[in-house]
C-alpha cells in the first residue's frame, strides 16, 4: 500500500479543520445549512481519504466505506457530544447528512476510478494494436511488460 503524500497532508488538514468546526461551542451556521455543511465536509473528506491510498479498487472501496461512512460519520457526532461544549446537541440528522456525503463521495470516486482504469487499459490496447500493425516482431507479453527480448548471440 502506497500513500499519496500531498493528498494525505490535505486530508490531515481537513480533519483538523472539521474537528475544530465540530467542537466550537457555537455552530457558525445553523438551521438547514448545518446539514448541508455536514454533507459537504464529509463528501470532501471521503474523496481525500479514497484518493490518499493506492490500493486495488474494491479493497479501497471497502476500506473507505468502513472508515468514512461507518466510522467517521457516526463517531464524529458521538465525539462531538462527549468533548464538545454543553450547548451542542446530538442530532441523528447530522449523522444522516454525514453518511450521505460519504456515500456520495465513495460512489463518485469508485465510478471515476473505474473509468480511469478503463481508459488506461484502452490506451495500452491501442498502443499494442498500433505496434502490431506496424509490423514489430515483439510478442504481446513483451509489449505488456515493456521489455525487449535479448538479441541472440552471433
Band the pLDDT of 90: cuts 50, 70, 90.
confident
pTM, to two decimals: 0.77
Report the pLDDT value the prediction gives residue 148, as an integer from 0 to 100: 54
User: pLDDT higher for 52 or 145?
Assistant: 52
Residue ranges of the domains in the chain? 2-134
By the 10 Å C-beta count (0-12 exposed, 13-18 middle, 19+ buried), 125 is classed as exposed
User: Is the backbone of residue 146 left (phi > 0), alpha (psi -120 to 50) or beta?
Assistant: left
Band the pLDDT of 54: cuts 50, 70, 90.
very high
Report the pLDDT value the prediction gives residue 83, as an integer from 0 to 100: 72
- For residues 72 and 95, give the distance between their C-alpha atoms in angstroms, rounded to a whole number: 10
Among residues 49, 54, 108, the alpha carbon closest in space to that of 73 is found at: 49
When pLDDT is averaged across residues 37-51 and rounded to a whole number, the result is 94
Among residues 83, 88, 75, the alpha carbon closest in space to that of 45 is found at: 75
* 124-140 pLDDT tens trace: 999 988 888 877 555 55
Percent of the chain with pLDDT over 90: 50
Amino acid at each position: 500500500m502506497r500513500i499519496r503524500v500531498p493528498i494525505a497532508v490535505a486530508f490531515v488538514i481537513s480533519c483538523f479543520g472539521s474537528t475544530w468546526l465540530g467542537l466550537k461551542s457555537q455552530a457558525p451556521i445553523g438551521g438547514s445549512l448545518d446539514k448541508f455543511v455536514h454533507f459537504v465536509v464529509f463528501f470532501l473528506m471521503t474523496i481525500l481519504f479514497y484518493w490518499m491510498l493506492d490500493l486495488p479498487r474494491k479493497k479501497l472501496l471497502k476500506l473507505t466505506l468502513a472508515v468514512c461512512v461507518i466510522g467517521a460519520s457516526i463517531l464524529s457526532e458521538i465525539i462531538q457530544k462527549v468533548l464538545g461544549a454543553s450547548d451542542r446537541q446530538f442530532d441523528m440528522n447530522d449523522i444522516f447528512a454525514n453518511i450521505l456525503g460519504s456515500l456520495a463521495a465513495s460512489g463518485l470516486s469508485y465510478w471515476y476510478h473505474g473509468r480511469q482504469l478503463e481508459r488506461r487499459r484502452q490506451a495500452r490496447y491501442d498502443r499494442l494494436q498500433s505496434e502490431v500493425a506496424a509490423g514489430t516482431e515483439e510478442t504481446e507479453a513483451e509489449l505488456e511488460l515493456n521489455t525487449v527480448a535479448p538479441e541472440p548471440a552471433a
